[in-house]
Each structure stands twice: as structure tokens, then as C-alpha cells.
Amino acid sequence: MRMVLAVSSSLVALSVLATSLLAGDIVHVSPDDVGPESIVHWQGEYLGAVEGEEGEVTLAAQVVARRNDDYELVLYRGGLPGQGWDPESGTERLKATITEGQLAFHGDDGRVYQVENGSIDIRHEERGQLGVLERTFRTSPTLGLAAPDGAVVLFDGTSVDKFREGAEITDDGLLDQGARSAEKYGDIFLHVEYMLPFWDDSGRANSGIYIQDRYEVQILDSFGHPGGRGEDGSLYQQRAPDLNVSLPPYHWQTFDILFRAPRFDEEGDKTENVRISVIHNGVLVHDNIELEKGTGWGGRKEEVPREHFYLQRHRGPCFFRNVWLIEAPDGWPETVEKRVFE
């Protein structure tokens, strides 16, 4: 299933951006939301067509803000990750030059990519204009997915009663990181929505979903990164996602996780390993993966049939909303099947 493309209509002032975004009034940030003085003003995804040697081809780009006015342009032939791009075709990565407030990227082939007014103008030093990429905003098809009858609603913005003492709800009605479920769970389907701000202080915003306090689905600002075993959507330090489909900071994102707990015999010996499938922003990135032990520090703990799950408090801010689960599911919920696989 492809993520939904949309055009931003949010033209809010910078002073009210954080409140509006966190409260769920908008799901992404447009260039006008932050203003040209912000490092994330140009950051985002772009899509269009460009003249190539074999005619017009689809080209996508991600403008990635790093630190200290450092930007990278990542180019994808055929479309964006999870939406037309073939990983076998690779990517092209270019570093930025900023001249008099103008952001540009220069390729070795004579192409110049000028970013301005919500688009990327592509020109060749000798052949002139080759095309224009327009800024696009993708939304996960499971964003806002309602909990079905029988589900355990862990957080709907009204209370933290389903979590142990210490869980915090923000003034904007969001769940802060560091919440641990009050109950212990075995087999579950878990839906989580999360948002990472841009954080250029000392690293990228970082959290994680620790199922049974042992198996972490990593949360990290990985927009535009190649992906890996420690990036967003990874089974931390054990398996990279099949595709990095992370959206830019300040976008609401989703994880839909199908988890089968380890099995034990009457003597307490493990007979079957954990199995886990993960849909990230509507794209299946782990399909029925077997884990012999917990991930990261979780691998040092003895495995159990039931345990709490934990939304990790780590480096940098991370916020959550619309968190719910189904116990002992038969498979993917019907609503997920329809939105992702049909």
C-alpha cells in the first residue's frame, strides 16, 4: 500500500505551529509553517518528472536537514521510497551550497537543483531546464485508525490510566515518552502513532517501542538516511527494515505491529521463538521475522510469555497518540488489511 500524497493547506504562524501540530490539527509541516529562518524550511519530499537521456522519467527527492545549515539532497528514480522507487536502482546523494539565502545542489553531471517556493527547479548547465519537482506531503494510510470493538485503548488523549505510575500526558493531550503499560501482554496487535520534532542539539530525536520490555522497534529521526539495524523501523541491532519509509520530522507517523510471544512448555523451557511483523507508515518492513532473543539490552533479559510494553524515554523528544492493541489476534485487523494490502 502506498502512502497518501497530499498538498499542504496549513499556513499557520510559527508561534502557534508546535501547539497546532501536537494537538493533531495538522499532520505535517509546510515551508510556510516555519519560515525561511528555520533549518527545516526546505526539508521535505518532492516529486515530479525530468527529461532524461531516454525521455521523461519520474524523479523524487528528499531534502534532508542535518545540523548547522547542513543539507543533503537524496534523489530516487521512479518515485519515493515505498511509492515507486526500486531500491535496486540506488540513490544519488548531493551536498548543499547556500548562497545569499538560496539552497542549491550541484551534481557531477552538470545538473543544478535549486530549492525555492516549495519546489525544486532542475537545470543543466548547458541544456537548460530539465524539470520541476513539487513538494508533496505523504500520510500513512493507517493514521487515525480507530480501535475496533474489543480492543484495549491505551491512550486516546484523555488519560494515562492504562499505564503505570509516571506516565505523563502533555498540555496538548499527547502521551510523552517513558510510559509503561499497566498490564502484561502476550500475543498482540499494536497500533501506535508518533511524532518526532527536528532536534539538532546533540543528535536525532530517538525513542522506541519495547514489546514485552525486550523486543524494540526503533523510533529515530531517520528521514533520508540509508537505513540500517539502528534506524527508524528496525528491530534494534538485529534487523534493518526492508525499506526506510520514515517521514520528515514534524510529521505524524505510524507503526502497526503484529507480535507473537515466545512459547514455553510446562517446565518453563522455550519451545518457540518470538515472531514479529511490522508495518511502518503503511509499508510492510518486517514480515513474520523470528527473533531468538530480545533486541539490544533486552537480549540480556530472560524471555517470558507475558510482560509490560514500554515507550522508551531516550534521547530527544518524542510524542505519541492513538495507542491501542488487540490481545491474541488471529492476524492483521480487517481495517489494516484493507488500508495496507488491498
Distance, CA of 133 to CA of 318 (rounded, Å): 30
Output the pLDDT for position 227: 87
Output the pLDDT for position 100: 79
Please give the average pLDDT of every successive group of 10 residues along the chain, which has 342 residues.
53 38 48 57 94 88 85 96 95 90 90 93 92 96 97 96 93 92 98 87 79 96 92 97 95 97 97 98 98 93 96 85 97 96 88
Output the pLDDT for position 39: 67
Question: Cβ atoms within 10 A of the Cβ of 18, count?
Answer: 13
- Using CA atoms in the order 100, 70, 48, 224, what is the torsion angle rounded to 10 degrees? -170
Output the pLDDT for position 202: 52
Say which CATH superfamily domain 152-341 falls into: Exo-inulinase; domain 1 (2.60.120.560)
Output the pLDDT for position 303: 97
Instruction: Give the domain ranges of the chain.
Output: 4-139, 152-341
Output the pLDDT for position 317: 83
Distance, CA of 311 to CA of 165 (rounded, Å): 14
What values do phi and psi take at 14, rounded to 5?
-60, -35
> With contact defined as beta carbons under 8 Å apart, do 234 and 241 qualify?
yes
Topology (CATH level 3) of domain 4-139? Lipocalin (2.40.128)
Distance, CA of 241 to CA of 227 (rounded, Å): 7
AA identity, residue 226: P
Supply 115's cell numbers: 530549492
Instruction: Render the burial of 92-129: b for 16+ CB within 10 Å, e for the rest.
Output: bebebeeeeeebbbeeeeebbbebeebebbbbeeeeee
Distance, CA of 309 to CA of 307 (rounded, Å): 7
